Structure 1
């Protein structure tokens, strides 16, 4: 399922305005007609809105990445356990956020807790969001599931991958 969202609509509006402006003509030597002027203003406003939406998404991703780093700080001296973790298919919950099941299999000889960073990506591999899931008390040789949920609504086709995992 592909959803274009607000940035796609803004870009479409800007393109439409830019393409229709030359068709409206000019009123005299160098003064654009009212319709052309309005189209140029609309294209400029659409560009400003797209820049703002892009900046907001970048801020949200930076915040999520910083929070993920802080959560991993709680697992100082943890052992790399990326091979013990896998994600399932990405779905959407009732709030419109992307979710995936995280399955941890404890390959150790005693009960362990895990911190798992899940990255949500678009089809081009661009990072859309990142979250950290803590899975406590996984018995030796046992498997335990948790759910990773994006921090915000993500649009388009979204995949999930384990970017890092540690156990302590």
Structure 2
């Protein structure tokens, strides 16, 4: 199998506090706001990788609650598994991977985050089953998938 035909798997956590705010981080490499997460290492489990990525990017310890969506970047071949989670420990801090972390309400997510990431957060805030969507890195690809207005 050629390397170009392989997928990469990433994980992300939509961390919700008691006020229904979501923790978002600004990436150091590109300045974009996203939920914390990253690429799974080959030998780690999905939930261990999720906890590791959140700890590395925020300093927080989390408890994953449920899978809320599966998203594929069609240009890069990255499949992202997104989980709703809650904080169970640690201290929120700036890290080597993030320049800032903030708690946002739903309205800020729609206006300040790229569509491909905003939809992940909004899907996690809904109680419907896990979403399955495709995107091009910025926008949700049209078809049966709804678009954020």
Does TM, scored on the shorter chain, surpass 0.5?
Answer: no
TM-score tier (shorter):
under 0.3
> Larger % of helix: which?
1
TM norm structure 2: 0.27
